[in-house]
A and B are shown apart, each in its own frame.
Chain A
Amino acid sequence: MLEVEHLNAGYGLVQVLNDVTLSVPEGAIVTLLGANGAGKTTALNTIAGLMRPWSGQVTFRNRRCDALPAHRIVRQGLSLVAEQRELFLSMTILENLMLGAYTRNDQKEIRESLELVFEIFPRLAERKAQVARTLSGGEQQMLAIGRGLMAKPSLLLLDEPSLGIAPLVVLEIFDQIRKINRLGVSVFVVEQNAKIALEVASYGYVMENGRITVEGAADVLRSNPKIQEAYLGI
Chain B
Amino acid sequence: MDILQIVANGVPAGMMYGLVALGIVLIHNGTNVVHFGYGEQITLSAYIVVVLQVIFHVPFWLACLVSIVLSALFGLAIYLGILGPLRRTPLIVQIIATLAIGLGIREGLRAFMGPDPWPFPAIVANKVYDVHGVFITTANIVVVTVSIAIAALLFLFFRLSRYGHAILAACESPRGASIVGISVKQVSAAIWVLASVLAAVAALLMAPVLTLSPDMGLIAIKGFCAAILGGFVSLPGAIVGGVLLGLIETAAGYYISTATKDMVAYGALIAMVIFMPQGLLGKRQIKKV
Does any Cβ of A come within 8 Å of B176's Cβ? yes
- Cβ proximity bits A86-116 to B, threshold 8 Å, 1 near / 0 not: 1111110001001110110000000000000
* Residues of the A chain whose Cβ atoms lie less than 8 Å from the Cβ of B110: none
Is A74's CB under 8 angstroms from B162's CB? no
Is A71's CB under 8 angstroms from B286's CB? no
* Residues of the B chain whose Cβ atoms lie less than 8 Å from the Cβ of A74: 179-181
Instruction: Assess A102 versus B286: contact at CB under 8 Å? Given A69-B183, A71-B183, A87-B176.
Output: no
- A82 vs B175: C-alpha distance when bound (angstroms): 9
Is B168's CB under 8 angstroms from A91's CB? yes
- A99 vs B162: C-alpha distance when bound (angstroms): 8
- Cβ proximity bits A121-144 to B, threshold 8 Å, 1 near / 0 not: 000000000010000000000000
- A48 vs B179: C-alpha distance when bound (angstroms): 8
The number of chain A residues touching the other chain, given as a range, is: 20 to 34
* Residues of the B chain whose Cβ atoms lie less than 8 Å from the Cβ of A99: 165-166, 169, 177, 180, 182
Is B180's CB under 8 angstroms from A151's CB? yes
Instruction: Kindly identify which residue among A86, A90, A102 contacts B287, using a CB–CB cutoff of 8 Å.
Output: A90
CB distance from A93 to the nearest CB of B (A): 14
Does any Cβ of B come within 8 Å of A22's Cβ? no
- Chain B: how many interface residues by the 8 Å CB criterion? 20
- A150 vs B181: C-alpha distance when bound (angstroms): 11
Is A102's CB under 8 angstroms from B172's CB? no
Is A86's CB under 8 angstroms from B181's CB? no
* Residues of the A chain whose Cβ atoms lie less than 8 Å from the Cβ of B184: 71
Does any Cβ of A come within 8 Å of B257's Cβ? no
Chain A residues numbered 135-178 whose CB sits less than 8 Å from any CB in chain B: 147-148, 150-151
13 residue pairs A–B, Cβ–Cβ below 8 Å: A69-B178, A71-B177, A71-B182, A71-B183, A80-B179, A84-B175, A87-B176, A88-B172, A89-B172, A98-B165, A102-B181, A102-B182, A151-B180
| Chain B interface (Cβ < 8 Å from any Cβ of A) | 162, 165-166, 168-169, 172-173, 175-184, 286-288
Given A71-B178, A100-B180; 14 other pairs, CB 8 A cutoff: A70-B178, A71-B183, A85-B176, A88-B172, A89-B172, A90-B172, A90-B287, A91-B172, A99-B166, A99-B169, A99-B180, A99-B182, A102-B162, A150-B180
Q: Would you list the 8 A-B pairs with minimal beta carbon distance, nearest first?
A: A86-B176, A103-B181, A70-B178, A74-B181, A86-B175, A102-B181, A71-B183, A80-B179
